[in-house]
Amino acid sequence: MNDVAELARVSKASVSRFIGEDRQLLSDAIALRIEQAIETLGYRPNQMARGLKRGRTRLIGMLVADIRNPYSVAVMHGVETACRLHGYSLVVCNTNRDDEQERIHLAALRSYNIEGLIVNTLGHHLDELRQLHEELPMVLVDRKVEQLRSDLVGLNNADAVRQAIDHLDERGYRDILLVSEQQDGTSSRFERVDAFKHLITQRAHMRGHVLETGDQLGAQLQAFLSAPGPGPKALFTGNGIATLTCTRLLRELGCPLFDDIGLIALDELDWYPLVGSGITSLAQPTYDIGVTAFECLLNRLRGDAEPPRLFDFPAQLIIRGSTQPRR
């Protein structure tokens, strides 16, 4: 900073204002001289040191359960874009669905002096999360942690399932199999299964079954395909990972896609239009979910003390050949 001040023929205080948050206090001529001096010298502020000195790091933490999940990546993109727009940087920690990794990452995020935290995990380390929540604002994405009084941003799961059942019903499917990832406490999975069971019981002409991904799914799927039923059969996959698993198994079983069975998937992935005649999907507005999660956090950082809010987005039905009309 001394070198910049000397080259620009200004005070060190003026340089501090220029690289800080008081640039508007400088005249255009002084600001231009400082900018040219910085460019000439190749000066780069140490953001971490500035943050420690001011008590602000402008770092936002994000804890995700599985960074390989396309949903997590898509939401993260929205969060990071919104962070950048408002002058924040994002620190992402992947727990890989491991409770010990979650504990380690929570300790690391605290050491980074993050200003806020976005959480997309099961929250098994509740004491650590509560303690961190007392120190800084926190927003949950997709998964509820009942004991944390935090804003929650995600999908309206009940409405998404209703859209799926309505569409399958209208297309003539009568025997429906919901395939979900294994229930590990994820609230969104519970909500989707519960909504499915409730809606199926309201339709006497339809029959519903629920299975989870796992080693036995191939045999269970084959049994579903070969068993007699009330009419045309369809799969309803609860997320992108379940969709990929079922698509692979259908190919292994020699089932023509999608002549003998329909398929509707919750989540929209790039490869869906490329499989058979295309996979009908219920697209989550993942980018908007990520942006909204950061905006909630930003409002809390600015002093918003209102009770926790729920932001549940609707899914968008995208119809392709996997749900062709049946007689």
pLDDT in tens, 45-95: 665 555 555 557 899 999 999 898 899 999 999 999 999 998 899 999 999
Q: Give the N- to C-terminal CA distance of the chain in Å, as an integer.
A: 76
147 pLDDT band, cuts 50/70/90, is confident
- Over residues 92-114, mean pLDDT: 90
**pLDDT of the residue at 16:** 83
- Over residues 241-257, mean pLDDT: 94
Alpha helices (H) in 9-98, listed in sequence order:
12-19, 28-41, 47-54, 70-85
Give 8's contacts (C-beta < 8 A, 6+ positions apart).
14, 15, 30, 33, 34, 36, 37
Asked if the domains 53-155+287-313 and 157-283+316-323 are classified in one and the same CATH topology, the answer is: yes
- Over residues 234-249, mean pLDDT: 96
Domain 157-283+316-323, CATH homologous superfamily name and number: Response regulator (3.40.50.2300)
Q: What are the CA-CA distances from residue 97 to residues 20, 103, 141, 295 (Å)?
A: 39, 11, 15, 26
pLDDT in tens, 178-226: 999 988 888 899 999 999 999 999 999 999 999 999 999 999 999 999 9
Contact 161, 199 (CB under 8 A): yes
- Over residues 111-135, mean pLDDT: 88
* Residue that wins the pLDDT comparison between 210 and 96: 210
pLDDT in tens, 6-53: 999 999 999 888 877 677 788 999 989 998 999 898 887 665 555 555
**pLDDT of the residue at 153:** 98
Contact 98, 73 (CB under 8 A): no
Contact 182, 318 (CB under 8 A): no
Question: What is the CATH code for 53-155+287-313?
Answer: 3.40.50.2300
Backbone angles phi, psi at 54, to 5 degrees: -95, -5
Domain boundaries, the chain: 2-45, 53-155+287-313, 157-283+316-323
